[in-house]
Structure 1
Amino acid sequence: MLLAFGNRLKKLLYILRSDTMIIKKFKTIILIIAMFFISSNTILANNFFYDIWGHWAEEEILWATNDVPLFVGYEDGTFRPDDNIKRTEFITILFRAANLREIIKYDTTESDKTELNVQNDNQIIEENKETTEKNIEDKKVTNNQNIENGNIINDESSLNYKDFNSNHWAYKNVEKIYKYINKENTEISFKDIFPGDKFNPEKPITRIEAVLLSSFFTTSPIEEKKLEFTDISEDYKYYKQIKKLSQLGIIKGYGDNTFRGEKNITRAESTAIIKRVYEEMNFISSNYLEEIKLIEDVFDNKFMYFGDKYFTNEKLSNEDRLYMNAIRTLEYLNIVESIPYELRDRYDSDPIATLKELRELDYWNVVGVNNYLLRYDAFSDSEKEKLIIEMINDYKSREDIKDNESKLIFKKVTSFIEENKENISENAKTEIFEGLKTWEESVKEYEEKLNIIFLKSKLYINSNLYKKALELYNLEDKKESEIKIDSIENQKYFIFNKAYILLKMKKYNEAEEFLRQGFENIKNHEKYKVSQKSIDKDFIGCIKKVLMKKEKSNKIIINQDTLEE
């Protein structure tokens, strides 16, 4: 019943919107009713506009004004989806998207940030000429005041356009995009997109201009397809950029398979483009193939005693009880900021001091004491190394440390090495490898066997021994009884970690081929369909990372060849 009423209300709105007087009179009532009866997307939206209901870009507009608030509408409750969008407006929206994705960071003064945000929220998309002119006039007054105060402001435009300088509300946004494009690309400059000595900031942006600007914030497609636009030939100077965005699904052609690059884009079209570009930006800003990752489990955040079999024994010494209470206290403080007064007699008032005292007393559980001291107290690098060597020596002599405890120990050790790889001694490295060997000889779980490979490869990489790190991943040399990768998650970890090493070695083609083959193998796993969306995203992200690195490397080679010529 409510749905039927909502549909009738939509029809009524379409009829009424042609009569401006009625809309003005009943706008508030209509919008309030609409909040309850239009689609669920609209109900949940903070910003909604009566002129987008039923529009082909309704979903994109709601996304761009609510989920990721890049656009705003007009004071009369409209979005005007079929109006053109100006050059400065589109570039500002693109800048804001890149800023949110932390691709371009706005690194100016706080006052400038505030000013920019206010202008973005209240001017850019509302196209309120009077407000814009007032802000420009205010800025002129401010400039005059600064000159009078002796603070001379250099107002020369670095963009070198006669009709566009720092008095314009969008200048800083355009300048950021301008600098990013010219820094990141050697094929096309900002001036190639907007040639001449005039920028024409109020001019509607065309499809080809929007495509070229957007192309700098996208990655290469992982599959090559033929470009189907009948009005774009392979010898067109921007064929490559159009093909790229078409293959990524960011731009689409018309029903007759034409691109029509000189056609102005509308506000609705710009929301669709920006939404797709914003999603693509994620591949640029995300940390794919940035490090060797370990297989995690629920026990990784648990507070271990490091020797649980012993601590379940009733015959505990006074030192054992002090140690256990210190760990219990640290665990409790990890959940709450402070211990309530009425519970203080149950916990240690200074657990770190207790652990230090136990260390001075040569308490037997060196692994446990040193692990928590490294985790919670501040030491110099040399002191940390000493704690680690003591911990590893104790670890090698014991048989009561479980696999999940071993993983915590060596995670802490490898993170220390990563932070101090230039200063760590060879003796410490040797001790750590011996400790890993001790764990390897006793480990039974395949998952932890993989983690040992990953940890070893981390250590080799930190010593710049990439070839040795890569050799660890040659499972063909190992017996099936030694290691087996059944879990789809474990397969992902193995593939991504090996690809990371290949990437560090600048073996881009091998890394790409290994990822693509691994992706195809994963698709045949019985559990693939359960997590298909996240798996696809991860593999696509990793492949794109390799393609970006390869593309950048090729550009450097081309530039070097050009310089030599």
Structure 2
Amino acid sequence: MQKKSKVLTCALLVCSLLVPSAASAASSYMPYSDISKHWAKSSIIRGAQYGLFASGGSIERFYPNRELTRAEFVALMDRVFVVGQQHLYPLTFLSEHDEFGKGEGFDEPYLPYKDVDRLTWMYGPTLRMSVLLERLYGPGAIQEIFPGQLFSPNQPITREEAAKLLAIYTMETDQQKAWNMVNEWGWLTGRPSDKLKRGEAAVVFDRLVQFLQRDVMLPLLDYDGQKFPMVPEVQDMFPLFAPYTDQVTGDDQIYVNAAEAIRFHEDSEETFRALRKLAEGTFDNKVGVHYYLSWDPDTEIADNLEHAFKAIDAYFDDRIVLPDTLQLLVANVYDMALQTGSTDPKMYEKILERLNGYEQKIRKNTKESEALAIYQAALEVKVGHMDKALEIYRAFAPHHQEALKNLVYYLVQNEQLSEAEAFLAGLQPKKTEVEIIQLTRLLQQELAIDLEQASIVRDLSFTMGRMENLKGYKAEGEAVLRGFLVKYTEEVDRLSKARHATGIYQSPQKLVLDKWESYTDTEKNIKYERNFDSESWEPSRVDQQEFMSDYVAGMSVKDRARILGARYYKQSFGEYDIITEWIPGDKIVEAAQNVSLNHGKIKSVPVYMNKYYIDSDSDLLVKHVWRYEEVYDTQEYVAYAGEETYKTQVDVRVSIPREVVKGAAR
């Protein structure tokens, strides 16, 4: 039996954490005694509701006109990031499941300031932001903002310093332009050297949170192949579809109880039996009854789909124009289209045909028509009618975020970059349409990056070539592969064509650490690994790929771009150029069909991302961070993540001892 499943996206869950609840958002809510007449009162209240500012108990005043310290601002940045890590995940590779700031390997991260004691409240937030900035921009990034060995945590933060931290969310590729971007978006105004006050900071973070709720960072990036076609996030999936008082009785009470049971995952067979009885009778809220009947997990999905359509029919029978309600009802149908269409693509066409039938019931160029059209266009994409989808998106993209993102994305996919540029350049949003203004700017930034792909590929290829031509270098790294945690140092000698690695590792089945050592003959493609238990050396071939990541790593940058469709994003910060690489998983799976892997056949590649930190003076690689995830036809999931730092100004000489080769030959 097919069962209908409902999944809340990560972004929606984050929004629910950041958006104030109905109770706390009441106009009478006043968390502090000194803000009732302050111009930033609304933002301060929302900040308290978001959990950014401590309130309640002994905290009675906010002091809105007091200058905000560096430590306080960093703590606010930390709170926003920890709640919404997924927004920066494509650039940090840090998910909400990582113990961020506690160290992903053997060593705890290092904070480069002498005046932030680990026993104080500010240590954790400052350390986490230091780690975040280093992951984004390279070693010592936080000291580009707050130079020296002293953080001076109690010193008032300037607007310019705040802008450099906020710039991580603007996607500006040049950190030197941070102030202009943050100022242009209205997050910060005034002079760069002015100190930031607490009330002003509340407004800054209020605007930042609202920006993040729209999930528009890197709007064209689809690193896991699941983002497009985009449809609006549903803010409330469990409405009652009619006003009810606290004193409901009879059928109204039965319906409200059923809806609440489904909302809180407390539904049972009796819940849906009661709803079916209401549907068969004269109960007037047919929209709600059929909507919730479509959630029955014990019913064939085809029957659930019929109830979803009956809910839309009931909506039009009521003849009340409620675009948000219609959007939810159509989203419900679209959700089931994705479930059925994944196994039977013909269902996309059948469902689209039924949705098209509602066009005659709606006035054109209205919010109601857009609520239907955004899902019609998505299904047109699914059935392969790209021209029709673009026509639909183009009609209301100038004022609809999802339509605009979809339009530009698919124009880029069709290699119609000039048309995408022209469309964005021709937009003339009103000053009050801040969301469209920001999205347009971000889309233009990404288009500019797309136009620079060939240049970025050349830059990265040049750096990798420089590394290949070095006589030698030393790499120090930590990695996690299939639960094994490894810390190592590897010396690479190009002249002798040999490598020597030493380190320690921890197995997921053992609490103790084990030693590890190996030599590699890169000319003969043989690795000699030391067995510390038997005190012997065991040879193995290194030209045989165990995982698909081994195969991809062996490809040149140009081939990864040409064959695998790798996409690149380049930023400049301080003394480093940072290049992030994303490779679509479906392209890797396609390439894997012709590759023999020791581990079996690849089924899917959810994530394949690299980040390269390049010294802008020498064009040499300073650091490499990666995260790969592979799923095999045996259902085995393999995750491989780690980072390496490189020392190139060293004299490296490696020779493989005779006893190693002889011992391996026995």
Please, what TM-score do these two structures have when normalized by structure 2? Answer: 0.42
Structure number with higher strand proportion: 2
Query: TM (normalized to structure 1)?
Result: 0.49
